Structure 1
C-alpha cells in the first residue's frame, strides 16, 4: 500500500507541474526550485525531483545541476512535431475504427456534431472544445490500435491546450465542423479509404493553425508576466 501511495504522489506532482506549464501558469524563463516546489506542494523533495526529470524528458524544462530548473514551455518546434505525429497516426487509427464503430457509436458521433453546431452558434468555446475533443477521442479509441492510442493519449494534454486557440476563431471552427461532418458521412458509408483521406486532409489543415496557437500563447504569457510583476 505504501508503494502505491508513493507512486500516486509522484504521478500527481508530475501531472500538476506539467499542467501548470501547458496552461501557462508557469512561463518560459521561470526558475523552479526543487525545495520551494516541495514546500508549496506539501510533499518531500523526492517526488518533485523525479517529476522535474520527467518534465525535462518531455523538453518542457531545462535542469541546471545544483542550481535550478528553467521552464522551457511549449515551442513552435514542439507544436509542429506534435501536429506532425497526429497527421500520421490519427488517419490510420480512423481507418481501423471503421471495423469497430457500432451503429450506436455512429449515432453518438452524429449527436456530437449537432452539439458542436449548437455550441458554435452560442459562441461557447469551452463546450465546443470538449465536444471537438470527444469526436477525435472516440474515433481513435475505436481503432483498437493500443500502442497508437497510447502515443496519442500521451499527447492529449498538449493537443487540448492547442485546440482552444482555433476553437475561439469562428472561421476556423466552421471549417473544422464541415470537415468533421464529411468524416462522419464517410464513417457511416464504412469507406476506409475515404475516411483516412478526409482525416489526413483535416489534420493537415490543423498544421496551418500553428501561428494562431503561438499568438495566443504569447499573449497569455505576456498577461501572466504582467500579473506576476504587479503582485
Structure 2
C-alpha cells in the first residue's frame, strides 16, 4: 500500500533527470557548430600598424581554409576608395595571401572573406597605415577588386589614350604651282595692245601732216 508514493517519487526524479540531460545535449549540439568556426590569428600588416612597404597582405587562420571557387579572398582599398590588389588571393593551408601594389600614403582597409574548415563563411575587415619612404613609386588604383567582379577593371587615374586625329591621316593639299612664267599675263597683253594702238595713231597723224603739206605746195 505504501509503495505507490515511492514509485511516484522515483518516476518524477527520473523524468526530471532525463529532461535536464536532454536540454544539456541540445544546448551542446547547438553550440558545437559555432565553436567550430576558424578564427583569424594573425595579419600582415597588422591592424593599426604603419608600414613603409607592402607587397603581400597575409591572413593566418586557426584552421585550414577551404579553397573553392575563390570563396576565400581579401580586398585592399586605399584612401581614395580604389582597389590595390594586383591579382586574386591564394590559399596556402590556413593562410590567405593577396599581392598588392599600394598607391598614395594613407589608411588602407583590408576586407576579407574566408571559407572556414567547417564549411561556414567568416568575414571581417581591419585597417593599416601606409607611409612610404620619400621617392617611392606610387601605383594607380583600380575601380573594382582584382577578383569577384563582373565590371571592366580600369584605372581612373591613368592618362587617357588619344586616337590619332583625322588631320594626321589626310594628305596635304598641294599648293598651286607658280604659273607666272608659263601662262600669259593679261596685264602685259593690255600694255602691248596700247602701244600698238598708239603707234597706229602716230603713224596716221604723220601721214596726214605730210599729205596736207604736199597739197599746199601743189596749190601754189
Which TM bucket (shorter chain)? under 0.3
Please, what TM-score do these two structures have when normalized by structure 2? Answer: 0.22
Q: Which has the larger radius of gyration?
A: 2
Task: Flag the structure with more relative contact order, 1 or 2, with Cα contacts below 8 A and sequence separation at least 6.
Answer: 1
Give 1 or 2: higher strand fraction: 2
Give 1 or 2: higher helix fraction: 1
